[in-house]
Structure 1
Amino acid sequence: MEIQSVGEAFIRPGQLLADRTALSAASRWTQAVSEADGVCVIHLSAGVDPCEVTADLRGQGLRASPNHVLRGQPLWFGGPASRVFPAPPVGFKQGRSRSDVVVGLLDTGVAKHPWWAGSDWYGRLGPDDADATEGTQAGHGTFIAGLLARQAPGVSLRPHRVLDGDGLADEASVVRVLHRLRGNPPQVLNLSFGGHTFDDRPPPLLGDAIGALTQTVTVACAGNTGSDRPFWPAALPCVIGVGALDAGLQDRAPYSGHGTWVDACARGDWLTSSYLETGDFAGYAAWSGTSFSTALVAGAIAHAARDEPARRAADRLLDSEETRQIPDLGVLVPANL
């Protein structure tokens, strides 16, 4: 994937996202247009800056954005947990617990694992939803699936592979998958990826796609930026943004994004979960990052939603008057691992 850095944001060079109302206004800069699943990708003429065109179109009241690149958020820089580590097997059985709650998981896919052997949801997966086997974030989706399964026993997962093996996806690909979810939306949606925008404004097409899932509680990671700069989609008003606490559950993990736009937090350091069987890994790993604290919050909401609508369960779980509040990280959600 070709990527251009704009400050601390990343975009697909020469590409613009818009809805159909902006096509005419953008025609003088347009070389080609591809339209699918509710989003138009405008391929700009050579040398045209997508950020400048975005500013022009927005000045006309139109919805447009560069095609931002989003990244999974395991911890990759500094500290003792800068990569994924092999871990000994962890005992876990789904048992007889069954839940009608469905959690959508947009990530690198999910690999075969003993924890969900024979489960209905895994048996319905196709080859396009299998976890990536190569790349710096291969196994990311499988790791998150394990956290969700343990936090919400009996839940059904609905994985969709949107991130490649290096944990990268462009905004257009994510919006298209979200558009397809409208016909059969999950109760809870886990998005353990994100990024900055070039101007720190909300990405309108991504916001529209998530907002259209009116019955779904969307949970997204606050990012491993260590800053209060808004990280999208977590900072969208319609999304529960999740930061990470250290293993002691007292302090913010130093890498975690934070600020008034973060709604909840959970442990992010040294979590153990399912993983690929490859090299030194025998299907289990230890990893850190806001990607994984997000799965704990999404799983807690899914578990609570067994007995009430997901939105009501989320509101109750995140009621700051009844639960511990962490400054700039929101409500603490405990892990049931």
Structure 2
Amino acid sequence: MELLSAGGTYIRPGQVLTDRAAVSAASRWARSVSEADGVCVVHLSAGADPHAVAAELREQGFRASPNHVMRGQPLFFGGPASRPFPAPPVPYRPARGRSGVVVGLLDTGVARHRWWSGSDWYADVGPGQADAAEGAQAGHGTFLAGLLTRRAPGVSLRVVRVLDGDGVGDEATVVRALNRMREQPPAVLNLSFGCHTADDRPPPLLTDALRALPDTVAVACAGNTASDRPLWPAALPRVVGVGALDATGERPAPYSGHGLWVDACARGDWLTSSYLDGGEFSGYASWSGTSFATALVAGAIADAARGLPARQAAQQVLDPEKTRQIPDLGVLVPASL
């Protein structure tokens, strides 16, 4: 269950995230503590306010935050980014070989599809990482996978399911997934989800987890909020925050998050990609949202990273002196599908 708190911030009720150093200090509020992959979830006693507890721990110098709910971002109050629509098959040219670049895709999972049938990376996608079959955002990860593999032919995806079929997950799950990547970090991360915080400050454990991947370029969506309010992780300094353009690929999409914290933009409206096979869909869909603009930017960086370190590739793709800029949406990255 999730709770809508003051300021439009969703959190898991009765939970605070800390590292191990803060557990003793948090014990006076704790009913129990669970730990995995470097994240401690303090389950609070009845009546304890997660925001107040986290704030007090941070005042004492500890890393702590409520367990923010992360949400996928194709939805915008029933607007143009509302849902996927059936689409005819899209021409697809399989890559002639591997690019050697690995993109971490943290999302709803990835389903079987003819575009990657027989690929080495999909053979590593176990049942627990398969895309959700039901829910408002079922097929979200499969759609992103198609955009990534078309924009960066030969790329390998490392799939981690952190969102359910309704596009809902939480910060603890995401941070644990990031921490598990430290031994073999991907070149690029696609993070098409986000959250607000009550004080509009960055969540500290999420910040730490991404900072611990210094050679990885994290690319995250600016959200479908039509607002300049920072969405995390997109607004973090070392993360490429991505906004969406309309179907012309020239003008801002009306729903896109925007502001000085947005670094890049790409078309987000009416993109067509791989999707689930069933019901009215036959493996393809058209969908809109900053989630999908994010995959185009992540794919462009992954494609440029064939012969360059990922951070150098990102600087090349996002060079403001060589590429047009859109006010409050950053550097324009062509779709090139």
> Does the alignment reach a TM-score above 0.5?
yes
Equivalent position amino acid for 1:264 in 2: A
In structure 2, stretches of 5+ residues that fail to align are none
> SS of the residue aligned with 1:169?
strand
Can you list the C-alpha shifts for 1:266-298, whole angstroms capped at 9, x where unaligned?
Answer: 000000000001210000000000000000000
Identical pairs, percent: 74
Preserved contact between residue 74 and residue 81 of structure 2 (Cα < 8 Å):
no
Q: Secondary structure at the match of 1:115?
A: coil
Q: Deviations for 1:290-327, whole angstroms, at most 9, x for unmatched residues? A: 00000000000000000111110001111101111111
Q: Which residue of 1 aligns with 2:117?
A: 117
Q: Residues of 2 paired with 1:17 and 1:121: CA distance?
A: 32
Aligned residue in 1 for 2:219: 219
Partners of 1:258 and 1:80 lie apart in 2 by 17
Q: Tell me the residue number matched to 1:36.
A: 36
1:253 aligns with 2:253: yes
Which residue of structure 2 lines up, in the alignment, with residue 200 of structure 1? 200
Aligned letter for 1:299?
G
1:65 equivalenced with 2:65 (yes/no):
yes
Please state how far the C-alpha of 1:72 moved relative to its aligned partner.
0.3
Partners of 1:204 and 1:99 lie apart in 2 by 34
Question: What is the rounded CA distance, in whole Å, between the counterparts of 2:9 and 2:134 in structure 1?
Answer: 25
Question: Contact 1:71/1:167 (CA < 8 Å) preserved in 2?
Answer: yes
What code does the residue aligned with 1:187 have?
A
What is the CA–CA distance in structure 2 between the aligned matches of 1:53 and 1:167, rounded to whole Å? 27
Q: Does 1:285 align with 2:285?
A: yes
The two structures have a TM-score, normalised by structure 2, of 0.98
CA distance in 1, matches of 2:9, 2:53: 17
- For residues 199 and 20 of structure 1, the distance between their equivalents in structure 2, rounded to whole angstroms, comes to 24
Map 1:166-181; keep pairs closer than 5 Å: 166-181=166-181
Residue 132 of structure 1 corresponds to 132
Equivalent position of 2:98 in the other structure = 98
Alpha-carbon distance in structure 2 between the residues aligned to 1:277 and 1:49: 44
What corresponds to 2:336 in structure 1?
336
- Cα distance in 2 for partners of 1:167, 1:280 equals 21
1:297 aligns with 2:297: yes
Partner of residue 317, structure 1: 317
Deviation at 1:5, TM superposition (A): 3.1
- Partner letter of residue 49 of structure 1? D
1:18-42 CA-to-partner distances (Å, cap 9, x unmatched) read 1122112211111110011011100
Superposition deviation, residue 80 in structure 1: 4.2
Which moved further from structure 2: 227-236 or 87-96? 87-96
Q: CA deviation at 1:81?
A: 4.4
Q: Per-residue deviation at 1:183?
A: 0.9
8 Å Cα contact 2:80/2:288 also seen in 1:
no
Deviations 1:202-245 (A, max 9, x none): 00000100110111100000000000000000000111000001
Letter in 1 for 2:152: A
Q: Distance in 1 between matches of 2:280 and 2:213?
A: 40
Q: Deviations over 1:159-210 (max 9, x none)?
A: 1111000001110011101000001110000000001011110000001001
Distance in 1 (alpha carbons) for counterparts of 2:58 and 2:124? 42
Whole-Å Cα distance in 2 between the matches of residues 24 and 176 of structure 1?
A: 21
CA distance in 2, matches of 1:78, 1:29: 40
Stretch moving more, 212-221 or 88-97: 88-97
- 1:73-93, Cα deviation, whole Å (9 max, x unpaired): 013424344211000011102
Structure-2 separation of matches of 1:81 and 1:298 = 20
Cα 1:78–1:4 change in 2 (3 A) is: closer
Contact 2:2 2:10 survives alignment (8 Å): no
3-state SS of 1:25 partner: helix
What SS does structure 2 have at the residue aligned with 1:182? coil
- Comparing 267-276 with 88-97, greater Cα deviation is found at 88-97
Measured in 2, the distance between the counterparts of 1:262 and 1:231 equals 10
Q: Distance in 2 between matches of 1:269 and 1:104?
A: 23
Q: Take 1:195 and 1:286, find their aligned partners in 2: how far apart are those partners?
A: 25
TM norm structure 1: 0.98
Structure 2 distance, partners of 1:42, 1:80, is 39
The DSSP-based 3-state class of the residue aligned with 2:70 is strand
In the TM superposition, residue 4 of structure 1 has moved relative to its aligned partner by 3.9
In structure 2, what is the Cα distance between the partners aligned to 1:101 and 1:80? 33
| CA contact 1:76–1:83 (8 Å) conserved in 2 | no
Aligned-partner residue type, residue 175 of structure 1: V
Count of matched residue pairs: 337
Conserved? CA contact 2:219–2:241, under 8 Å? yes
Q: Which residue of 2 aligns with 1:233?
A: 233
Give the distance between the partners of 2:30 and 2:79, measured in 1 at CA.
45
Deviation at residue 2 of structure 1 after TM alignment = 3.8
* Equivalent-residue separation in structure 2 for 1:182 and 1:80 (angstroms): 37
